[in-house]
């Protein structure tokens, strides 16, 4: 059994997703669906009953905000339970143990690994610069591993983790959440079909008004706690946030940018930091298309989303929701008659609903607007399912290494105020 | 929780990053628990728990178990006036030893609207204290509030309950206060439901509760809207403030000395 979801290539060099869906097969399935009066192609919402593992015992390393969210999601993931939590900060550890009923606490990775018989799988949710050391150790232990993304803070570390993951017989997944998100899978099917046709441009943003600073407690230093603001190890907004979103474009187009030009500055949080709180990047692809990316810690308008502009339609994705905005001269497809729609100023979007056919049959199509779970839940559930099935997770560490390398390049361009060529040779 | 939370940390420089970080961390806690406790979103923990099969013991985290414990205490002491299970709280089996919850019958829907704000305010004020904050006030929707210490000048935080010249003014110092109104005094169409009678609550148009725990105060203020009077079994450490039908206020409990009437304070 391989722990890595190495991408197979479909027709025309477009990588297949884990369900083997490429452009041609999508069109065949759509046509078949129309004959049966389906509304949309089927997308799996979570795991099938046959994929329920008998009980995966999970250790979570890192009990900060992400760790807290992970513990919360595991409470609702069938077939898995958290049996161990590890964090060097006493207060965070005590707090996290209140959230994981029955779990044992460990103050160090050494201590955790000495109790390796109490867990089958490990989630690494520590600060990005520590991912390599902890991730390599977890992979070497033979446990199933879930690595949070960005994968690491250097390309060298990304390559090392990808190499370690390839050598593992266990299921090693990376936390690029778009690939496990049912709405994103559904929208990708449309993107690969004639629904969007030729992609001419791409845009994404992530806006959130927050200082990105964490309180320093429990004897830790500011550099340890606020590593995102430490220029020695931070990958900035482009790395920490952009990596997740850049990967959506890599996954849909099957392409990686060849160069990036970024700009950034501290617009609001003038507390002595050098890591910009507001950035803009242009990512150039080899077919001439560009991805226009913006992120800020100074404004929260419209949160985060990605948009693909095609000659037949635009697709907008916002992690829990997705919409397709059709051009007036685009052909109408049969299922559109039944589709749910939402108005956005002067535009009307067709709501992309995962599991629409089943919901429509039950007369509950509108109830399907928006995903019932977070993207994090789907990513963790996918990993647990892959462990149960002995299959590949939605996101391989190789894919995460490449996406992170793009994020690192974008951050370097911002900090150096120069165009940077994206070199993926070390992670390909 | 469908409302606005505000945190005022006194005696610090607002531009200093660490104080802002402490307040942002508290707001993250609010967002985290909102996502878990809302009954309006399909992915919330509460929705998921309500959908579990009857008879299945479901492990819950200790914070959530504590929340249920507060609800259970007030449910028992109020004779069911507060019921976060829509009149079926008695069908919830809680096992503290295993930190688990079992719904003994199907279709039990949980709604923590009457206690969630206070529960989260307790969590974040405890965190603020642990971070070294000695003077702060936190409120959710202006109806539930908890104070850390007093104001920077050493006075208690003063919070007015309702409006009018005779409205009580509560002096808070390391204490919580919660106020419930029954749809602006229209008890027939009020939003608080008396699950013991299966109709809109009509006990009192307004109830305020003062105590150490914001969660308990929040829960009790709703329960008193239903009962209209202070139940004999109510925790003796909690102070209740209820309007008298003929005018004036009925204030009972150890915190009564911290309550002044508007006219009285004005005269001072």
pLDDT (tens digit, 9 = 90+) per residue, B64-83? 999 999 999 999 999 999 99
Q: What percent of chain A has pLDDT over 90?
A: 75
Across the range B40-49, mean pLDDT stands at: 89
Instruction: Pull the structure tokens for residue A388.
Output: 């149960």
Beta-bridge partner residues of A343: A348
Per-residue pLDDT at B97 exceeds 90: no
**SS3 for A88?**
coil
Block residue for tokens 């009980």 = A55
Q: Is residue A15 part of a domain?
A: no
Which H, E and C letters describe B220-251, residue by residue? HHHHHHHHCCCCCCCCCCCEEEEECCCCCEEE
How far, in Å, are A310, A402, B73, B191 from residue A136 at the CA level?
Answer: 41, 18, 48, 56
Cβ contact A76–B45 (<8 Å):
yes
Q: Is residue A230 part of a domain?
A: yes
What element of type H or E holds A24? helix A23-35
Cβ-based contacts of B28 with chain A (< 8 Å)? 65
DSSP class of residue B213 equals: -
Cα separation, A191 vs A317, whole angstroms: 12
Q: Is residue A269 part of a domain?
A: yes
Block residue for tokens 């309950």 = B161
Q: Confidence band (pLDDT; 50, 70, 90) for B33? A: very high
> Of A51-60, A127-136, B210-219, which range is least confident?
A51-60
Higher pLDDT, A359 or A210: A210
Q: Is residue A411 part of a domain?
A: yes
pLDDT at A204: 98
What element of type H or E holds B69? helix B62-77
> Of A13-27, B3-17, B48-62, which range is least confident?
A13-27
Q: Confidence band (pLDDT; 50, 70, 90) for B192? A: confident
**Which strands sit side by side in the sheet containing A172-174, from one edge to the other?**
A104-106, A80-86, A56-61, A121-124, A144-147, A172-174
Cα separation, A38 vs B33, whole angstroms: 38
Q: Is residue A290 part of a domain?
A: yes
pLDDT at A37: 33
Per-residue pLDDT at A254 exceeds 60: yes
Q: Confidence band (pLDDT; 50, 70, 90) for A22? A: very low
Beta-bridge partner residues of B169: B160, B260
Q: Confidence band (pLDDT; 50, 70, 90) for A399? A: very high
Cα separation, B89 vs B79, whole angstroms: 11
pLDDT at A27: 37
Domain count, chain A: 1
Q: Which of A81, A101, A371 sits opposite B61 (nearest CB)?
A: A101
pLDDT at A336: 85
Q: Is residue A83 part of a domain?
A: no
Cβ-based contacts of B36 with chain A (< 8 Å)? 72
Question: What single string gives the DSSP state of each residue in A377-404?
Answer: HHHHHHHHHHHHHT---SS-HHHHHHHH
Any idea how long chain B is? 268
pLDDT at A361: 77
Domain of residue A281 covers: 182-371+405-415
How many C-beta atoms lie closer than 10 Å to residue B174's C-beta? 14
Is-contact A211 B17, C-beta < 8 A?
Answer: yes
Q: Confidence band (pLDDT; 50, 70, 90) for A102? A: confident
pLDDT at B16: 59
Cβ-based contacts of B15 with chain A (< 8 Å)? 271
DSSP class of residue A284 equals: E
Cα separation, A315 vs A239, whole angstroms: 24
Q: Is residue A32 part of a domain?
A: no
Cβ-based contacts of A269 with chain B (< 8 Å)? 17
Residue of chain A whose alpha carbon sits nearest to that of B18: A215
For chain A, give the mean pLDDT: 88
CATH of the domain at A187: 3.30.360.10
Instruction: Pull the structure tokens for residue A261.
Output: 């030009």
pLDDT at B246: 86
Q: What are phi and psi of A44, to 5 degrees?
A: -70, 130
**SS3 for A111?**
helix
Per-residue pLDDT at A334 exceeds 90: no
Is-contact A43 A96, C-beta < 8 A?
Answer: no
Q: Is the ipTM of this complex over 0.85?
A: no
Q: Is residue A59 part of a domain?
A: no
Per-residue pLDDT at B215 exceeds 60: yes
Cβ contact A271–B62 (<8 Å):
no
Higher pLDDT, B189 or B174: B174
Closest CA to A120 of A211, A187, A54: A54
CA angle A191, A195, A198 (to 5 degrees): 65
Torsion from C-alpha of B44, A123, A321, A237, nearest 10 degrees = 120
Cα separation, A43 vs A29, whole angstroms: 11
Number of CB pairs < 8 Å for A and B?
65
The domains found in chain B, sorted by start residue, are 134-267 (3.10.520.10)
Closest CA to B136 of B4, B10, B20: B10
Per-residue pLDDT at B155 exceeds 60: yes
CA angle A340, A77, A15 (to 5 degrees): 60
Per-residue pLDDT at B199 exceeds 90: no
pLDDT at A212: 95
Across the range A388-411, mean pLDDT stands at: 96
B40 touches A: beta carbon within 8 Å: no
Is-contact A178 A50, C-beta < 8 A?
Answer: no
Instruction: Pull the structure tokens for residue B207.
Output: 């109830």
Torsion from C-alpha of A92, A80, B48, B120, nearest 10 degrees = -10
Q: Which of B22, B60, B100 sits opposite A215 (nearest CB)?
A: B22
Cβ-based contacts of A372 with chain B (< 8 Å)? 42-43
Q: Which residues neighbour A93 within 8 Å (Cβ) at sequence distance 6 or greater? A: A63, A85, A86, A87, A105, A106, A107
Per-residue pLDDT at B187 exceeds 50: no
Cβ contact B21–A69 (<8 Å):
no
Instruction: Pull the structure tokens for residue B264.
Output: 């009285």
Question: What single string gives the DSSP state of each residue in A221-247?
Answer: -HHHHTGGG-TTT--HHIIIIIHHHHH
Q: Which residues neighbour A33 within 8 Å (Cβ) at sequence distance 6 or greater? A: A39, A40, A41, A42, A335, A357
| Angle, helices A182-192/A243-253, rounded to nearest 10 degrees | 40
Across the range A314-339, mean pLDDT stands at: 92
Cα separation, B3 vs A159, whole angstroms: 46
What pLDDT, in 10s, does the model give residues A276-319? 999 999 999 999 999 999 999 999 999 999 999 999 999 999 99
């Amino acid at each position: 059994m391989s722990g890595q979801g190495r991408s197979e290539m479909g027709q025309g060099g477009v990588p297949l997703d884990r369900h083997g869906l490429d452009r041609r097969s999508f069109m065949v399935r759509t046509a078949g669906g129309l004959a049966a009066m389906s509304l949309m192609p089927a997308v799996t919402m979570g795991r099938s009953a046959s994929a329920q593992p008998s009980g995966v015992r999970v250790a979570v390393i890192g009990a900060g905000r992400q760790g807290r969210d992970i513990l919360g999601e595991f409470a609702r993931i069938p077939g898995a339970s958290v049996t161990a939590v590890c964090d060097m900060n006493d207060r965070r550890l005590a707090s996290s143990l209140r959230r994981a009923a029955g779990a044992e606490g460990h103050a160090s990775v050494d201590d955790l690994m000495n109790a390796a018989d109490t867990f089958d799988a490990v989630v690494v949710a520590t600060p990005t610069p520590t991912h390599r050391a902890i991730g390599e150790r977890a992979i070497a232990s033979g446990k199933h591993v879930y690595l949070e993304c960005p994968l690491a803070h250097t390309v060298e570390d990304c390559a090392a983790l990808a190499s370690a993951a390839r050598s593992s017989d266990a299921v090693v997944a990376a936390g690029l959440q778009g690939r496990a998100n049912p709405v994103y899978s559904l929208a990708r099917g449309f993107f690969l079909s004639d629904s969007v046709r030729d992609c001419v441009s791409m845009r994404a943003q992530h806006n959130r008004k927050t200082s990105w600073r964490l309180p320093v407690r429990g004897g830790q230093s500011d550099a340890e706690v606020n590593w995102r603001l430490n220029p020695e190890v931070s990958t900035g907004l482009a790395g920490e946030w952009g990596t997740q979103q850049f990967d959506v474009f890599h996954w849909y187009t099957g392409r990686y940018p060849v160069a990036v030009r970024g700009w950034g500055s501290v617009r609001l949080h003038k507390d002595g930091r050098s890591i910009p709180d507001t950035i803009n990047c242009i990512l150039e692809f080899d077919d001439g298309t560009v991805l226009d990316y913006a992120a800020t810690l100074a404004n929260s308008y419209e949160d985060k989303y990605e948009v693909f502009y095609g000659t037949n339609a635009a697709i907008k994705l916002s992690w829990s929701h997705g919409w397709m905005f059709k051009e007036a001269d685009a052909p109408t497809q049969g299922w559109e008659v039944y589709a749910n729609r939402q108005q956005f100023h002067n535009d009307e979007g067709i709501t992309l609903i995962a599991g629409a056919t089943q919901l429509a049959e039950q007369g509950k199509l509108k109830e399907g607007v928006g995903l019932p779970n977070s993207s994090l839940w789907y990513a963790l559930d996918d990993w647990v399912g892959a462990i149960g099935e002995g299959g590949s997770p939605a996101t391989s560490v190789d894919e995460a290494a490449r996406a992170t390398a793009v994020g690192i390049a974008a951050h370097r361009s911002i900090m150096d105020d120069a165009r940077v060529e994206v070199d993926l040779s070390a992670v390909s | 929780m469908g409302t606005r939370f505000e945190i005022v940390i006194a005696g610090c420089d607002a531009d200093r990053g660490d104080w802002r970080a402490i307040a942002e961390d508290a707001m993250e806690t609010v967002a985290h628990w909102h996502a878990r406790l809302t009954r309006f979103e399909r992915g919330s923990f509460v929705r998921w728990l309500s959908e579990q099969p009857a008879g299945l013991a479901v492990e819950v985290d200790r914070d959530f178990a504590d929340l249920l414990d507060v609800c259970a205490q007030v449910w028992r002491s109020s004779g069911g006036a507060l019921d976060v299970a829509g009149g079926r709280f008695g069908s919830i089996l809680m096992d503290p030893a295993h930190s688990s919850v079992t719904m003994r019958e199907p279709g039990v829907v949980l709604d923590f609207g009457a206690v969630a704000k206070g529960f989260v305010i307790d969590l974040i004020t405890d965190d603020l204290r642990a971070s070294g904050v000695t003077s702060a006030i936190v409120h959710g929707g202006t109806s539930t509030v908890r104070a850390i210490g007093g104001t920077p000048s050493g006075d208690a935080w003063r919070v007015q309950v309702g409006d009018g010249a005779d409205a009580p003014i509560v002096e808070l110092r390391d204490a919580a206060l919660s106020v419930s109104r029954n749809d602006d005094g229209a008890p027939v169409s009020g939003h608080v439901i008396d699950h013991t009678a299966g109709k809109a609550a009509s006990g009192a148009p307004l109830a305020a509760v003062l105590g150490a725990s914001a969660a308990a105060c929040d829960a009790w203020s709703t329960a008193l809207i239903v009962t209209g009077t202070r139940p004999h079994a109510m925790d003796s450490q909690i102070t209740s403030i209820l309007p008298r039908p003929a005018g004036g206020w009925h204030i009972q409990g150890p915190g009564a000395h911290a309550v002044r009437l508007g006219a009285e304070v004005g005269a001072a």
